Amino acid sequence: MTQPRRILVTSALPYINGVKHLGNLAGSMLPADVYSRVMRLLGHDVTYICATDEHGTPAELAAQAAGVSVQDYCDEQYEIQRAAGEGFSLAFDWFGRTSRPANHKVTQHLAQALEKQGLIEERTSQQVYSVDDGRFLPDRYVEGTCPTCGFEKARGDQCDNCGRLLDPVDLIDPYSSVSGSRNIEIRDTNHLYLLQGQMQDRIREWVNSKGAQWPSLAVSIANKWLDEGLIARAITRDLSWGVKVTDADGNPRPGYEDKVFYVWFDAPIGYISATQEWAEATGNDWESLWKTDKGADEVEYVQFMGKDNVAFHTVSFPVTLLGCGEPWKTVDKLKAFNWVTWYGGKFSTSNKRGVFMDQALDLLPADYWRWYLIANAPEGSDAAFTWEGFQSAVNSDLANVLGNFVNRITKYTASKFDGQVPDAGTPGDAEAWMVNELKERLPRLIEHYETMEFRKAAAETRAIWAAGNEYLTKAEPWVKYKSDVDAAAIGVRAGLNLAALFGIIAQPIIPGAAKKILDALNIPEENRNFPAADADFAALLDALPHGMAISPPEVLFQKIEDAQVAEWAERFGGGKED
């Protein structure tokens, strides 16, 4: 048995402007949840932290459109997102908010620490001012033509076409994406700048030290930024909603009364402040997870995010943590995902493109979606969502392979063995074959989870379920029962133990269905952990107490019919003609 590890897991913070779509779920929160569940089932001490990212212009504009205060808007949206996460069985240890006082305090502290280290200075810069909107425009609310590639819908912070970081004043023919107005002026304004260039060599050394712990996608994105050269970036904005800029005494910084910290400066700090909230609410110690002089050097810190968040987590946030001169824990393993695409394009919150978490739960239980999104995780490349692929995965993997196995063996036990685990019979060739399958596949499954290869983990899980079906074909308890009840009994007993094992290994991805299986088989909570990679695999086929009562669970998965697929394609788009 390996020694238990302490693991801190964070997933990219979902922005506050509305329920997240399935692409957001698949690229951060869901795999982080699956990983956290697996590590707990392997006996490790896991803390999974997330929060809503609530500052910045999008929240202000959304509140304005809704005719409510920004605080009221964020309060409402937080509850909606919390409920959606709960509906998808996301087992956060804490789901915090960046608008809470804890995040304000840590953000202000880190900014002051960076300034003491000479990494922040005040500069007068030119910024886009929209005369018609009566406001300075944050980078992403200025659009225009990219000066590098000519893309006509480049944002002021980054071009989505060529990926180059931009300054809005460099855009050709800029306009306000808030109002569409081209009545634009470039005005002087003072801001605090984080001197990232001074940390260039240290950040590159840090990135290089991660080696195989990061996927090539994350390393390549980090190196792209580093190769282009880190530049000083403004970490304040001319906005009213956000973390106020203060001096060392906590008073408003002169000249910054109407400014706040840039959302991308304070949002990652939300991982720390949300952990503080969790610790305060539960009586735990947050410093042992985040301060290397308090024990965090023994913690494995694992982050999950989509590829569009990678640069900020591999460069900007590390500049803050490594540059402030304090012993903060930085990420050890970073799992970056590509995008889930929706019929030739990206899922989009702003454009309401695709299926969103609340809508998905109105159609089918969370397990159906969880299985499909993990089995088709966008790891090596973007992964296309299709209704037909979703239908096939649910019907084949869940209904036919897992559901059918559990249904057959439990119902047969109820009808022929009085709903009890039989004790007769001696293992033979079929059982030896199944033991070899488990001996080969279970360690491989655990290895896939350890390396965070979720597609492979789902495929191996399905392969183990499929092997169970093949075992029943070899054992033929229903055939043997006609002439040799004892010979049938061994097949039923092994089949019931396999059903329990299948429920155990299903828990990370489809926790709802797994619980139904394990409850029906009367498996105590303390016996639901993953078997070790070096387990006695033969014993797994005879682990249930002989004579123990079991009951067939209700139907685990309803098949998705063609008519449902047609209806959903009509409602949400994404039919074959798209």
DSSP per-residue letters across 445-487: HHHHHHTT-HHHHHHHHHHHHHHHHHHHHHH-HHHHTTT-HHH
Do 372 and 484 fall within a single domain?
no
Collapsed DSSP state (helix, strand, coil) of residue 95: strand
Do 73 and 132 fall within a single domain?
no
Beta strands 154-155; 172-176: pairing state: unpaired
Alpha-helical runs (H) found in 339-423 = 357-363, 366-375, 387-393, 404-416
Range of the domain at 327: 6-110+264-384
Measure the CA–CA gap between 477 and 484, rounded to whole angstroms.
Answer: 9
Is residue 565, in this structure, part of any structural domain at all?
no
Whether residue 162 is annotated as binding a ligand: the answer is: yes
Query: How confident is the model over 222-261, as pLDDT tens digits?
Result: 999 999 999 999 999 998 899 999 998 889 999 999 899 9
Do 126 and 101 fall within a single domain?
no
Do 94 and 176 fall within a single domain?
no
Number of domains in the chain: 3
**DSSP-assigned letter for residue 251:** S
Query: How confident is the model over 495-524, as pLDDT tens digits?
Result: 999 999 999 999 999 999 999 999 999 999
Amino acid at site 462: R
Phi and psi at 250, nearest 5°, equal: 85, 5
Q: Half-sphere exposure of 147 toward its Cβ, with a 13 Å CA cutoff?
A: 12
Do 15 and 95 fall within a single domain?
yes
Cα Rg, the chain, nearest whole Å:
27
Least confident among 231-240, 267-276, 278-287: 231-240
Measure the CA–CA gap between 309 and 246, rounded to whole angstroms.
Answer: 27
Measure the CA–CA gap between 536 and 542, rounded to whole angstroms.
Answer: 11
Return the exposure string of 344-359: e unless at least 16 CB atoms fall within 10 Å of the residue's CB, then b: eebbebeeebbbbbbb
Question: Are 468 and 406 within 8 A, CB to CB?
Answer: no
- Residue 571: CB atoms within 10 A of its CB come to 11
Whether residue 349 is annotated as binding a ligand: the answer is: yes
Do 396 and 480 fall within a single domain?
yes
3-state helix, strand and coil shares in percent for the chain, rounded to the nearest 5: 50, 15, 35
Do 442 and 504 fall within a single domain?
yes
Do 126 and 178 fall within a single domain?
yes
| pLDDT score at 350 | 67
* pLDDT-derived band at 575, boundaries 50, 70, 90: low
Whether residue 50 is annotated as binding a ligand: the answer is: no
Question: Are 11 and 47 within 8 A, CB to CB?
Answer: no
Whether residue 149 is annotated as binding a ligand: the answer is: yes
Helix axes 70-87, 57-66, angle to 10 degrees: 100
pLDDT at 576 over 70: no
Query: How confident is the model over 432-481, as pLDDT tens digits?
Result: 999 999 999 999 999 999 999 999 999 999 999 999 999 999 999 999 99
Average pLDDT rounded to a whole number, residues 348-369: 90
Do 181 and 222 fall within a single domain?
yes
Do 365 and 394 fall within a single domain?
no
Is residue 380, in this structure, part of any structural domain at all?
yes
Is residue 556, in this structure, part of any structural domain at all?
no
**DSSP-assigned letter for residue 559:** P
Whether residue 159 is annotated as binding a ligand: the answer is: yes
